[in-house]
Structure 1
């Protein structure tokens, strides 16, 4: 995307208008440089920064600067890092198990694990991490990959120690090796 289109998309998500607030223009330009014109990154960053102070914007930009490579993963993960623990759990469950499933079924399932699903899913929608289309949960491929990467990083060498397993080969390997470690995670899947 060109500069003007990128600025407009960021502004629609960060300010709920077609242009940035004048006092945020300098910070908006810096955000654009990290998003590199990628619409998904602009939407996620804009939604994450919506309603935040200049100091919060500067803090987010500092965090992105510390990344050795400002890859899309780091931009998307910034929004994930801003979630509370329950929101993170709901997000990771959706990324690993429930993408493409009926929203009402997923809500009932997660509700049975003690989550305040309506609130948690609304936050995920507001952050552009999920959306609902024709009653089904929709998640961009890159956002799902980010969620699954976060889970894989819990224990790179031993999948049995991760909070979630979703790939048949890994589940089979873990069960055959009898290397399953149970954690205090509320979702048994």
Structure 2
């Protein structure tokens, strides 16, 4: 049943399977009901189901990685996340368990382009018209807009 809803797309199958692993049958049914309502199967909507199942801290870790840290050294990323008050070891491990991240042989954080695009779109949707209201800025045009068109108050951060 899940194979049909994921349209056979390997990434969607892997992420959805990781989300449903060890879940009760009621969760499976609920997920399948939700997938039935997605018209013409948008892969990002399938991936979003797993993102929505993460706790707030793990969602933030996922978004930080999608916006800033794809391809970066995992040790450096953990240091940064820990300095921001996150529990990086648990959070990154959870995102890996959900098949939303991998660590390469040379200790780089790897993320599929579709997952990165989904994460960045989640942030963009926070404020489509006003980048200043977004939780993260990574695109040079948005950063330029915020720095030149808006004032940044002392103590505010852009990313």
TM-score normalised by the chain length of structure 1: 0.79
1:152 aligns with 2:124: yes
Q: Which residue number in structure 2 is paired with residue 166 of structure 1?
A: 138
Higher relative contact order (CA 8 A, sep 6+): 2
1:40 aligns with 2:14: no
Gaps of 5+ in 2: none
Gaps of 5+ in 1: 1-29
Q: Which residue number in structure 1 is paired with residue 28 of structure 2?
A: 57
1:106 aligns with 2:54: no
Looking at CA atoms only, which structure, 1 or 2, has the larger radius of gyration?
Answer: 1
Map Cα deviations across residues 21-73 of structure 1 (whole Å, 9 max, x no partner): xxxxxxxxx21111111110110000000000111001111122222332101
User: Aligned partners of 1:151, 1:122: CA distance in 2, in Å?
Assistant: 22
User: Aligned partners of 1:188, 1:174: CA distance in 2, in Å?
Assistant: 9
User: Aligned partners of 1:33, 1:181: CA distance in 2, in Å?
Assistant: 50
Which ranges of 4 or more aligned residues in structure 1 deviate by more than 6 Å?
Answer: none
TM-score normalised by the chain length of structure 2: 0.93
RMSD of aligned C-alpha atoms? 1.8
